[in-house]
Chains A and B, each alone.
Chain A
Amino acid sequence: GAVVSQHPSWVICKSGTSVKIECRSLDFQATTMFWYRQFPKQSLMLMATSNEGSKATYEQGVEKDKFLINHASLTLSTLTVTSAHPEDSSFYICSARDRGKVNSPLHFGNGTRLTVT
C-alpha cells in the first residue's frame, strides 16, 4: 500500500519550453503533497508544499512563477517547470502522506529526471 506514482520518470526538453510533472497517490488520499529537488550527490531540497484546493507554499528562493504547482484533487498534484533553462536540470521528487492514517510517514514517488538542453 501507500504508493505514489510520478510521471514521467525522465524528460528531455529544449530551453524555453515548459514541462509538467504529475504526482499521484494511488491508494490513499493526500491533502498535502511535497515537491523536492535533488542535485547529484546531494540531499533532497524541499521546494514547495502543495495543498489541495489552495495555493502552494514555496520555500525561500524558489520562484513560484517558474515552478507552478497545481493540486486539483486529493490524489493528484502537478509541478510545471515554465520556460525551462539548463540550470533547471535536476531530479524532482514528490511525496505525500496518507491523511487516513495517524502519523503516516512520507511516501515518495520515484522521481523525474529533467534534462534541459
Chain B
Amino acid sequence: LAKTTQPISMDSYEGQEVNITCSHNNIATNDYITWYQQFPSQGPRFIIQGYKTKVTNEVASLFIPADRKSSTLSLPRVSLSDTAVYYCLVGDMNYYNTDKLIFGTGTRLQVFP
C-alpha cells in the first residue's frame, strides 16, 4: 500500500510557479521524501530528496513541515517541457533497508502556453 496521497492532476501556465503537495501521514522516523518526474515512455527521473525543512537544487525546492506529514514540491517558472507526471515517494533510503518502495498515483501536471 502506497504511503502517499497526491492530487491526480494539476494545470498551470508557462512562467508560473507550481506547488504539488503530497500527504504522508504515516511517515516513519527513518523515511525520506523523494520526488520523481516521468515523461511518457521513459523511466522516472530523480528531482529532489529531503528529510526535513527545506531543500533546494537547480530545478526545484522541497518544503517539509516540522511534523513531516506532508511535503510540497515547488517548481519555479514552469515551461511546456515540465508537463509530466510527478511522483512523491516515501521510504527508508538506508541502503540496507529492504522495505519495498511503493509508488502512489502521481500528479499529472499539464503546462499550457
Give residues in A with beta carbon < 8 Å to B: 2, 4, 6, 31-32, 34, 36, 43-46, 49, 59, 91, 93, 95, 97-99, 101-111, 113
Contacts and interface: CB of A to CB of B under 8 A. Distances in A.
Given A43-B104, A95-B44, A113-B41, 16 more contacts: A6-B43, A31-B95, A43-B2, A43-B87, A43-B103, A43-B106, A59-B100, A91-B41, A102-B95, A103-B94, A105-B46, A105-B49, A108-B36, A108-B43, A110-B43, A111-B42
B1 to A, nearest CB: 12
A45 B44 CA distance: 13
Q: Is the interface of B mostly helix, strand, loop or mixed?
A: loop
A110 B42 contact: yes
A110 B42 CA distance: 5
Contacts of B102: 46
A36 B101 CA distance: 10
Which of the listed residues B43, B46, B106 has the most CB atoms from chain A within 10 Å of its own CB? B43
Contacts of A99: 95
24 contacts: A4-B43, A31-B95, A34-B101, A43-B104, A44-B103, A45-B103, A49-B98, A49-B100, A95-B44, A98-B95, A101-B95, A102-B95, A103-B32, A103-B94, A104-B95, A106-B34, A106-B44, A106-B46, A106-B101, A107-B46, A108-B43, A108-B46, A111-B42, A113-B41
Interface range on chain B (Cβ under 8 Å from partner): 20 to 34
Nearest to B93: A103
Which of the listed residues A59, A98, A108 has the most CB atoms from chain B within 10 Å of its own CB? A108
